[in-house]
Structure 1
Amino acid sequence: MVHGPEDYRLDTVPVPTPGPGELLLKVDAVGVCASDLKCYHGAAKFWGDENRPAWAERDRIAGHEFVGTVVQGDTTALTRRGVDLGDRIACEQIVPCGDCRYCLMGAYWMCAPHDMFGFKGFDGAMAEYVLVPTRALTHPVSRDLAPHVAAFAEPLSCAMHAVERGDIHFDDVVVIAGAGPIGLGAIAGTRQKNPRLVIALDMSDDKLALARQAGADLTINITTDDAVQKIKDLTDGYGADVYIEATGHPSAVSQGLNLLRKLGTYVEYSVFGSNASVDWSIISDDKELNVLGAHLGPHCWPAAIKLLESGTLPMDQICTHQFPLDRFQDALDLVADSEGGSVKVSIVPTLTHPTTSTAIRD
């Protein structure tokens, strides 16, 4: 339960009772996201400052990357969503209003009220049960997937949306900055587009090795190599066609602007903890770049779930750590620990003790 920045507590509350058209899920797994961590630490994006309004709510159950088993719901709810009791579904993190300007124009992921599981309007899934309201968007997920793998559908769909925003073509050189959960998802999604070259950047050799398994043709450790120069050398001095930023570090912004060719495309996905400063003239006068944002995972959930169900991604190495519900603080702390060796951390309420992937233990 969120009581405020750096004040999350394990509380006991009644199991929700679904109303007409609503479902009750028993939570199978919920991922711990960088945005969860930044909200926990009081980032202005969530709690507000003099420049932006607050939208994270106190007395709200956290958790927006989740899958669960349908355990209760009326006939209307089950029929409308095409599910039966015992089926597994994933919920999109946003719960759109359906009435605002953006919803009416089809851009539901930019809904003005912007209710989201775990942050605003609706309780999330860091709990044993979660209520699925009538407005929620749901997708079926195979029960053959491990719960923590199934929950990866949310970050993977987000990453795929960033890929879609990049408008990637067959002859493109695409650079993805960051080999964390979103970056690895962007690498996997970019691989599905089959461009000429997929390049991953990170500071960790272990994560770069994982990036190659996810589909990167080439990896560059930015602590030992000049990524900008190396990419220009690979492209006859021109630079990359598309750059997808998935680190959340301000230095990755100027890096991307500098390694792109003229008329290239920059896609920003990250949630930043601090402001980024760049030479804005690179975007206009120097290169006339396309600079695009990407938010959530609209229209990418079926593709993300299909990719997970195909078994082609090294999910045993991506989903590195799972914690029981009463160890939620350890899960948050591990996500915050850049030296902790984690990639994707999840909470699985049915666990009795933490687990790690075989690959990590070995």
Structure 2
Amino acid sequence: MVLMSARAVNRATLARQMLVERADVSGVEAVGRLVGMQGQEPKHPYVGLWSRIDGFEEAELDRAVAERDVVRATMFRGTLHLVTAADYLRFRTTVSPVLEAGLKILGDRGEGLEPAKVVAAAKKLLAKEPLTFTEVRDALQQQFPEVNERALGFCTRMLVPLVMYPTDARWSWSANARFTPAEDWLGSKLHTRAEPKELVTRYLAAFGPATPADFQTWSGLQKAKPLFDDLELETFTDEAGRTLYDVPDGPRPDPDTPAPVRFLPEFDNLLLSHAKRERIIADEHKPAVYTKNLRVKSTYTVDGLVAGLWTAEKKRGVATLTLTPFGRTLKRTLTELEREGTALLRFLEPDAKTYQVVTNG
């Protein structure tokens, strides 16, 4: 079995993540290539696409949302994702076991919960009009007064196929977004049969080479090894002796291929989609990125690896990008970061009068 160095694994992953060079593709095509983008907050996928698409403009994704080509909905790992409409319809049934299993975290709060009855009631409510989850919980509480209102809302979020209802707010969704039935919004029915093998190949095309445990981490689906064994995949060995699987036509560029600096948003799936994440971030830097309250901070990469954090703000017309490096930054790297960072600021704050990139420490 061919040995893949850590650098080779890194470059293969970056290539399919469109982070070796920006891709000349539409926003919808890019979201499809990535099999969705975690969208904990609406801005994050916009930033992720800006770093991956040549000439990406905010309005392009706005149009795709308005035209219902992409949706924001609960999907992989039971978290909010921006996915293409086609992938939502295709794979929502595939990930339903993950969403159903999510009810276990309710514990005592789920006392008295009868999911089938709650689902039926929630569907009836949401068929009338889009609602926020506060409105859903309040309405369900009237029908199920003995059940915890948070349990009612969580059951609805996990078990009822819903998409977020967009508005004309910047980044397409308001902070307290409403939800609407997915099939009504998209005018199509969900694919009724689970397609886990197809999902494996799509995952590998976006995040490979990878292990079954990596796929499980990304999707939330368990017992994936038999799926990998049933597929015709290339196999490699990494430096830790693990068997890596890949689609036969997956890009595996020369390990010496240059990787430019890139800025990743909070919760970027590149940092969430492998059981072992050394291909993108060193173990010693993880505590600074993955917080105790389950947030994943905005990061930037240097030579293909996470090298620091970034934040952006605008005050009195001045847009500032603040870099917090994890170690010493070479002068030529800082120049590249300033150039790329200024371009990011112009994307985030197009109305600012002045742009500046500063470094902590």
Query: Same-fold call, TM > 0.5?
Result: no
Structure with higher RCO (Cα < 8 A, 6+ apart): 2
Higher Cα Rg, which structure: 2
Please give the range of the TM-score, normalised by the shorter of the 2 chains.
under 0.3
Structure whose residues are more often strand by fraction? 1
Structure whose residues are more often helix by fraction? 2
The TM-score normalised by the length of structure 2 is 0.26
